[in-house]
A and B are shown apart, each in its own frame.
Chain A
């Protein structure tokens, strides 16, 4: 039994569409929901998916033809398992939505429009390649953004002739197979890698390594530049005595581990203290939107974490509603999922303030870049014992205490020095009082 692929309704005022391109050929095996044809209407390109798995028995609407909604575009034979076309090879090629890294299909000669998307090339280079049945994707491009130029093609041909006096004959199936599968809109990863390196007047030296930025790195870089350009950052540092927190932590860390199954670190204490201080200083829990400062009702504290993929800032949502142990468990959960790459987009959204804990030695203190559109970020320095002066029975004495520097970066557009210092000082007071419910 055959199944008709009809042009589905694309909207109330859409009566017809133009068949822009077939993504599959007759005889090809398709999976259910695999996009098989692109239909254009007005300014919309819609991909029509296969209603059923099977073999494309017949294509009824040719490219360029205008079809009405409900018209049959193709017929699928759902029972056909094997490809009836002369070549079985193309049928196993991944569908058009394949990942960017999917290997490109062969057969550029029979589908020039496909090859034009798969390999970037100048028109002249493409014509020469087509005339001489050369796959442009095999040619190393030296043009702008790695485009294949005429010279590249000629050089490639010369090299091939030298390397193999008798040119290997491409399998007929590969040369004539009706392949239309090259990822339509995904540039090959190679193109990404061939992005022109930024030019800072630096000439590459022998032995230099050129590492193309990953999209993630690019996003981080752009965000950092954007933040620095947008917000005038001011930095201020407070010295905090964590001795009380250390005592509390030592007293409870074993029972905490027994009860919750996780280690009690210093980070939850800091996040908890920040959260309490944010409630008292709403100016730091804010964003600038056009000409207004929005002080936010919710307190969602981002905790910056480094992962293999790069810097991520998962968010402790409604941190002000959590107890210290709740904060500890949430941070532990987010950190675990950050490491195992199981964070969802929602985990990373909506932070209203950020705490950064670089947590390595050699980090006395330092200023972080504000995570836009927030107006402040607190960076923890290393926790270490230091000799400090305290009063004992009216006498100044030098004692050993567990100390940490806390560095606050704030956006001077929204926050002035007094509230910023008050906020930072308040965090210190909360930590030194060490009154946390455990």
Chain B
């Protein structure tokens, strides 16, 4: 561990635009050395983000239709493809100075984010793995209750680097309503099914309106948040 371990901050639900502004400010603070390394954990209200290189074919519904359905559509200035965020998805934005950490390697950063998520998922009883050639975290089907079918993706990753300080990060599906992904082709991968911690553990996701499901879901959200905070904290400051 370095001199200043990673500070993990749970921010609750924050709009996509506001979170971008927070990250911008945090990157500036980190570049200037005003703060140490930080990891923001948060949730976004339902939002679809479109990268500049988004293939229009990866969006199944028109932005106007989506907005009418209460889903914000956000056009971001980054590369990459379409993403979907919603309550019940744990979003993590690590603001790390890779240079100060002696890890000037963007691919290593991606692999460490995957590592932290895989370790957290394993402690939660979800067998997780990488799939060669695809950034992100997938369910290890061979060790799961459903070994058959297409690859099941449980977390997406995409990062930005400014002067070796990272921003953006990961989005782990915990208990969100997976039907939200129907509007998009996640990360442009069409033969991949999206899954969540709740789905893998056989628990009700946000599609259920039952109050007992809702409280179980909150407990799950919190358990996942704690597991990710701890494993990611260890892996990223390592």
Binding site for B on A (CB under 8 A): 9-14, 18, 20-21, 33, 35, 38, 40-47, 49, 97, 100, 113, 116-117, 120, 122-124, 143-145, 147, 183-187, 191-192, 195, 215, 218-219, 222-223, 225-226, 229-230, 289-290, 344-346, 349
Contact = CB atoms under 8 A, between A and B. Distances in A.
Closest 4 CB pairs of A and B: A222-B12, A11-B105, A184-B77, A187-B17
A122 B66 CA distance: 11
Given A145-B72, A289-B226, 8 more contacts: A12-B107, A14-B107, A44-B106, A44-B109, A123-B63, A185-B76, A222-B11, A230-B222
Contacts of B11: 219, 222
B77 A12 contact: no
B77 A21 contact: yes
B107 A45 contact: no
A41 B77 contact: no
A39 to B, nearest CB: 9
B161 A43 contact: no
B21 A186 contact: yes
Contacts of A42: 106-107, 110, 135
A117 B76 contact: yes
20 contacts: A11-B106, A13-B105, A13-B107, A18-B79, A43-B80, A43-B158, A44-B107, A44-B109, A44-B160, A97-B24, A117-B75, A120-B75, A123-B63, A123-B64, A185-B23, A192-B15, A215-B14, A222-B14, A223-B12, A289-B230
Nearest to B66: A144
A97 B77 CA distance: 13
A47 B160 contact: yes
Contacts of B64: 122-124
Given A100-B21, A122-B63, A44 B52 contact: no
A187 B161 CA distance: 18
Contacts of A219: 11-12
B160 A45 contact: yes
A117 B20 contact: no
Contacts of A344: 34-35
A49 B163 contact: yes
A285 B220 CA distance: 25
A215 B53 contact: no
Contacts of A186: 20-21, 24
A187 B14 CA distance: 14
A13 B21 CA distance: 31
B227 interface: yes
Nearest to A121: B75
Q: Is the interface of B mostly helix, strand, loop or mixed?
A: mixed
The CB with the most chain B CB atoms within 10 A, among A11, A123, A124, A219, is that of A11
Contacts of A47: 160-163
Contact of A12 (B52, B68, B108, B230): B108
B161 A45 contact: yes
Nearest to A195: B15
Contacts of B53: 20, 40
Contacts of A349: 7
A297 B162 CA distance: 38
Nearest to B167: A185
Nearest to B76: A185
A259 to B, nearest CB: 34
Interface in B1-59: 7, 10-15, 17-18, 20-25, 28, 34-36, 38, 52-53
Contacts of A46: 106, 160-162
Interface string B70-109: 1010111111100000000000000000000000111111
Given A97-B24, A219-B11, A14 B160 contact: no
A218 B18 contact: yes
Interface in B185-231: 218, 222-223, 226-227, 230
Contacts of B34: 344-345
B12 A225 contact: yes
B88 to A, nearest CB: 15
A187 B106 contact: no
A21 B160 CA distance: 13
B157 interface: yes
A215 B18 contact: yes
Contact of B72 (A43, A144, A289): A144
Given A14-B106, A38-B79, A45-B161, A113 B52 contact: yes
A195 B21 CA distance: 14
B35 A345 contact: yes
A9 B107 CA distance: 11
B67 interface: yes
B39 to A, nearest CB: 13
A218 B109 CA distance: 30
Nearest to A143: B67
B235 interface: no
Nearest to A42: B135
B23 to A, nearest CB: 8
B159 interface: yes
A229 B104 CA distance: 41
A112 to B, nearest CB: 11
Nearest to B74: A120
Nearest to B124: A290
Nearest to A17: B106
Nearest to B29: A345
Nearest to A288: B226
A45 to B, nearest CB: 5
Nearest to A222: B12
Nearest to B170: A43
Contacts of B7: 345, 349
The CB with the most chain A CB atoms within 10 A, among B11, B74, B77, is that of B77
A14 B105 CA distance: 8
A144 B67 contact: yes
A33 B165 CA distance: 13
Contacts of B67: 122, 143-145, 147
A226 B9 CA distance: 13
B20 A187 contact: yes
Contact of B106 (A10, A20, A143, A191): A10
B18 A192 contact: yes
A309 to B, nearest CB: 14
